[in-house]
Structure 1
């Protein structure tokens, strides 16, 4: 059993409350169980309890064994002096506060219905199932499943937006620089997101701004700092790469960029189709930077999906339409719609949500998330498996919600924090 199960039991009062008493015989009336504390300190705060004839207002701490109080050193922590009830599965020993006073204990082992405990174990002990609750899904109303996917989606978007907000703070509250760094990482499309994020650090926006008007100089800076301009057999006779190299040598000296860039071995090519090579993505990023001098304003004010598609549908320079890597020829397709949809999902939406929080415009949060309803669903083995189990999968909002549900709840077996798992356990709870 995990301690989270007891948290769930206490929060929803899913135990036999008949003649509820502490280990020393005090009659307990739960007036308010309190709210879960997400920070350091006791598990539930602002609880209201009546012990015999005295009403207490304070905290509730929960452990599997009462002795965990000492194992966690709560007896020496003043934050736990506010605990008025110690809820445990097994009361194996009395515990004290910092001043030596005994904390009343409530053991729950004999008060939890066996079928509820069995249902909990069945959920958490499914060996390989995609969803621990898969066999119980027919018992769960569709509205419960849908609302949980929506909740997981919002949590996923907010987590991405929090990353953008932290980046914005590190960049001195510069939204244009924040858009540049976020866009650069987005063009990595997972496999090369990390090296592209490092490239943005190695190639400051203040330098790029001075050369955005000149596509050759812009590409020289991008490919030079990325480590793709070293002379080798493929590039030794390539006139365009030679021009880029010459421009970069001049600009690197001018802006003291020596030793700050990446090496070509730091980029991931393995198992990527040529159209997804990092060199192709760098060329596409350079094209957007050249064509959109005001990145943040353009990303913020594109009012609909066609406008966002136009933002990204910028042709690369002639060389990169016919080369996958420096010196390696081949016809290269333009940035496809599926890639643009991913950029809207992972760059535009989090950026807009972070800015909406920064400016206190809650309606803009809803507007940004609503963009995902306009995008087609993403198909992979996870989303397809969830759809096969009856979850709605109509658009990118559903896809993102299902991925978030899997990664944040199903995979780590956080069934007690999920509305679907909670609903299943409710059917097994004791009727009070």
Structure 2
């Protein structure tokens, strides 16, 4: 309830009656103040006329007035600048640490706002605000989706920044980890990230000109060169075809040379995974990308156009994997290029966030602007979240749109955080 009182105060959705303090003085809210989500009073620098006096200061809001004491504000000097205490129930007078009493005002949530809030919280429909979507102006939709798009990039930037910290400040290595994670395409994303952190790139760099050795290290570090990683009914074929044994021998030599240890092969998931997404295929594509010197941050930053970006991310498997999906199991010949959809996902989830994050890190706004430009040039993703929003009337044309709506679903709808959503605001203020 307190969050809803915050919301009513912030957006001035007050009941249609005169506002008064507990001692009968008229209250006029000129500016509700800046909402504070950190420690301290709930709203900073509010402008409020109480009676004939204009006050500029902070506002604290509680479900009931006695929460002031429950939270220890009467002993905290940070609350001495509170000019008005707002509560849904005035069950006591409140006092500052300096002994002064704080003016109080009863604030009720209007019935229609409460009804609409209950609808948003209890409905099983997605999105719960679907009734208001068709009536929203293009300005409201565009401004909120632009904010959501930036918010999503900021969120991914924070994840990349943390990876750079894990890589001892190396943004080059952080890019490789980010790239590897997204080569997992969801199901194996966590394992790919663990694999990438376990990859001694300084050692791999000594063999940059030898694709076979690169693939040996990549496959070996994934634990996929252990015989037990191959289903028993394929082990004989894997040993007979020669390639597995050659890779394993090479890896054992290099692992000893560079003191490398693989991750547990049992971490990889294959259930309900399409063969083209098998770890062997994705790792071979990554090995090829690294061999072609296209897996580096410098190559990414040099991309000025979307075509250049696609070229840098495009890869295919090494010859053995053109006729295999796992060791020992043959298939019809297929070069196994990254598909159009996979390439788009890598641009959206890896390259563009990395450009934005690195642009923020280096204060190069041109990289941030380029990230936004690329999002507007790529076609929108097609998944159940996007189709859901399209069905209720939202236009979804570009990857920028789809990323914004994925952010909306995951960070607002799923968390029932309608009070921070601009669509939710429009729903709540309906009369």
TM-score (norm 1): 0.91
Superposition deviation, residue 137 in structure 1: 2.4
Q: Is the 8 A contact 1:377 1:396 kept in 2?
A: yes
* CA shift digits 1:346-381 (9 cap, x unpaired): 111111001111222334323202212222222122
- Aligned pairs for 1:286-365 within 5 A: 286-292=287-293, 295-330=296-331, 331-332=333-334, 333-365=336-368
CA deviation profile, 1:232-261 (whole Å, cap 9, x unmatched): 542333311111111111111111123xx2
Using CA pairs under 8 Å that are at least 6 residues apart, name the structure with larger relative contact order, 1 or 2. 1
1:135 to 114, 118, 131: 131
The answer for the alignment partner of 1:179 in structure 2 is 175
- Residues 126-167 of structure 1: per-residue CA shift (max 9 Å, x gap): 2x1001111232332233223322322221111111211222
Does residue 210 (structure 1) correspond to residue 206 (structure 2)? The answer is yes
| Equivalent position of 2:24 in the other structure | 25
1:14 corresponds in structure 2 to 13
1:256 aligns to 2:255 (yes or no): no
Cα deviation digits, residues 379-424 of structure 1 (max 9, x gap): 1222112111111121222221221111122222222222222123
CA contact (8 A) 2:180 2:196 kept: yes
Q: Residue 113 of structure 2 is aligned with which of 97, 113, 116? A: 116
SS of 1:373's equivalent in the other structure is helix
Are 2:125 and 1:125 aligned? no
Matches within 5 A, 1:79-158: 79-109=78-108, 112-126=109-123, 128-158=124-154
Question: Which residue number in structure 2 is paired with residue 161 of structure 1?
Answer: 157
1:198-235 Cα deviation digits (max 9, x unpaired): 11111122122122211111111111111000125423
Deviation at 1:121, TM superposition (A): 2.4
Query: In structure 2, what is the Cα distance between the partners aligned to 1:292 and 1:71?
Result: 61
Change (3 A) 1:363 1:25: farther
Alignment size in residue pairs: 422
Partner in structure 1 of residue 266 of structure 2: 265
Greater alpha carbon shift after TM alignment, 243-252 vs 233-242: 233-242
My pick for the range that moved more, 176-185 or 48-57, is 48-57
> What is the CA–CA distance in structure 2 between the aligned matches of 1:388 and 1:337, rounded to whole Å?
25
Work out whether residues 60 and 85 of structure 1, in 8 Å CA contact, stay in contact via their aligned partners in 2.
yes
Aligned pair partner of 2:425 in 410, 414, 422: 422
Flag structure 2 segments of 5+ consecutive residues without an equivalent.
none
Aligned-residue offset at 1:21: 2.4
SS at match of 1:20: coil
CA separation of 1:65 and 1:323: change in aligned 2, threshold 3 A: same
Alpha-carbon contact 1:139-1:424 (below 8 Å) kept? no
RMSD of aligned residue pairs (Cα, Å): 2.1
Aligned counterparts of 1:344 and 1:294: Cα–Cα separation in 2: 13
Cα distance between partner residues in 2 of 1:72 and 1:271: 51
| 1:63 alignment partner in structure 2 | 62
